[in-house]
């Protein structure tokens, strides 16, 4: 059987594409998601800018009902890592990690992005042993203790605020003296008493022992170092686009990409390859928001329905 549409990635973009393709009449649609559906927002301790959501809710609270809503309209979900998407004779082939393949008339890809490593000494060695990229997952381990947060964007500041509620103190280490995060979030940081700003400073080394991290050495822009005694270091320095599934055997990409590795799309989420649509954080000029990723998923789904209709009828 050839799928009408294969959806790669089950974040807000992929799930919304699943909802709209199935509800819009495509019969055989499978969403391939390597983990639990919901995407990276599942790691967020708080979301306050999704329309209609007022109370204090976590990313997981927001995303939990989405898969069930899609399944109601017939979306199938397979938990598998997709290693490659190829196209020949007008048919896409989805290559799964176990070596098997599935064919599809159209593909909507929304594999999102992953946390970037900062690059300081000890970061890899202590990853999972005191160095973390997820406050909701690991913050509780540092209840009543001091931690450091690296970064100056929305993620770093929001997660610093979350950690400040659990931990006795949060050192917010940022390489400049102004923040990229939303002004409202910066204001909240500044009035939180147990957050100390360590500005114009970058992490130099994280160190520890067999039990885990014991401290972080930071260096300021004048070259002076400071040791911060903490058992936990949370890094939030942006994300890299997950574009690996589009890399072909000869190393080229299946469709046109920009220099940052983001998929080039038009306003209908069409890529340079007919029948292939890219959505959410992985596409050019993405606002990197749940609401925009969901919007992309809906746009791509409507396009995929027209594409498949035209192709098969």
The residues annotated as belonging to the active site are 134, 137-138
For residue 185, state whether it binds ligand FAD (rule: CB under 6 A): no
Which of these segments, 32-40, 85-93, 100-108, 248-256, binds ligand FAD (CB under 6 A)? 32-40
By a kind-dependent CB cut-off of 5 to 8 A, residue 175 interacts, out of ligand FAD, ligand NAP, none, with ligand NAP
Angle, helices 154-166 vs 183-190, to 10°: value is 30
Three-state SS at 235:
strand
Q: How far is the CB of 209 from ligand FAD (least distance, A)?
A: 29
By a kind-dependent CB cut-off of 5 to 8 A, residue 14 interacts, out of ligand NAP, ligand FAD, none, with ligand FAD
Which of these segments, 63-71, 92-100, 155-163, 220-228, binds ligand NAP (CB under 6 A)? 155-163
Site string for ligand FAD, 219-258 (x = CB under 6 A): -----------------------x--x-------------
Residue 76 near residue 31 (C-beta atoms within 8 A): yes
Query: What backbone torsions phi and psi does residue 31 show, to the nearest 5 degrees?
Result: -105, 125
**Nearest of 154, 157, 140 to residue 231 by alpha carbon:** 140
Which of these segments, 83-91, 127-135, 231-239, 303-311, binds ligand NAP (CB under 6 A)? 231-239
Residue 119 near residue 202 (C-beta atoms within 8 A): no
For residue 32, state whether it binds ligand FAD (rule: CB under 6 A): yes
By a kind-dependent CB cut-off of 5 to 8 A, residue 295 interacts, out of ligand NAP, ligand FAD, none, with none
In angstroms, what is the C-alpha Rg of the chain?
21
**Nearest of 27, 3, 5, 66 to residue 276 by alpha carbon:** 5
Which of these segments, 160-168, 173-181, 206-214, 261-269, binds ligand NAP (CB under 6 A)? 173-181
Residue 262 near residue 284 (C-beta atoms within 8 A): yes
3-state helix, strand, coil in the chain (%, to 5): 30, 30, 40
Q: How many CB atoms lie within 10 A of CB 147?
A: 28
CA atoms of 131 and 234, how far apart (whole Å)? 6
CA atoms of 236 and 133, how far apart (whole Å)? 6
By a kind-dependent CB cut-off of 5 to 8 A, residue 110 interacts, out of ligand FAD, ligand NAP, none, with ligand FAD
Residue ranges that bind ligand NAP, judged by CB under 6 A: 49, 118-119, 150-156, 158, 175-176, 180, 202, 236-239, 288-289
Residue ranges that bind ligand FAD, judged by CB under 6 A: 8-14, 32-35, 39-41, 43-44, 47, 49, 81-82, 110-113, 155, 242, 245, 280-281, 288-291, 293
């Amino acid at each position: 059987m050839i799928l009408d549409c294969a959806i790669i990635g089950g974040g807000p973009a992929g799930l919304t594409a699943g909802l709209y393709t199935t509800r819009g009449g495509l019969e055989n649609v499978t969403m391939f998601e390597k983990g639990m559906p919901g995407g990276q927002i599942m790691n967020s301790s708080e979301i306050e800018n999704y329309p209609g959501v007022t109370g204090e809710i976590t990313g997981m609270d927001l995303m939990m009902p989405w898969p069930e809503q899609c399944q109601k309209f017939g979306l199938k979900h397979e938990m598998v890592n997709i290693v490659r998407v190829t196209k020949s004779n007008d048919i896409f082939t989805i290559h799964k990690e176990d070596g098997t393949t599935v064919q599809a008339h159209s593909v909507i890809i929304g594999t999102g992005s992953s946390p970037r490593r900062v690059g300081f000494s000890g970061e890899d060695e202590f990853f999972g042993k005191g160095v973390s990229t997820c406050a909701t997952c690991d913050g509780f381990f540092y209840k009543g203790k001091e931690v450091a947060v690296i970064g100056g964007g929305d993620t770093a500041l929001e997660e610093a605020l979350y950690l400040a509620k659990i931990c006795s103190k949060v050192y917010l280490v940022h390489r400049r003296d102004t923040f990229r995060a939303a002004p409202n979030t910066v204001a909240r940081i500044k009035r939180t008493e147990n957050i100390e700003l360590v500005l114009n400073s970058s992490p130099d080394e994280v160190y520890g022992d067999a039990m885990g991290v014991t401290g972080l050495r930071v260096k300021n822009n004048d070259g002076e170092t400071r040791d911060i005694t903490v058992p936990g270091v949370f890094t939030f320095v942006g994300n890299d686009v997950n574009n690996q599934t589009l890399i072909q055997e000869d190393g080229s990409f299946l469709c046109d990409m920009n220099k940052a590795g983001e998929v080039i799309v038009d306003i209908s989420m069409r890529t340079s390859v007919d029948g292939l649509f890219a959505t959410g954080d992985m596409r050019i000029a993405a606002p990197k928001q749940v609401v925009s990723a969901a919007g992309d998923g809906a746009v791509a789904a409507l396009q995929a329905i027209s594409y498949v209709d035209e192709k098969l009828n």
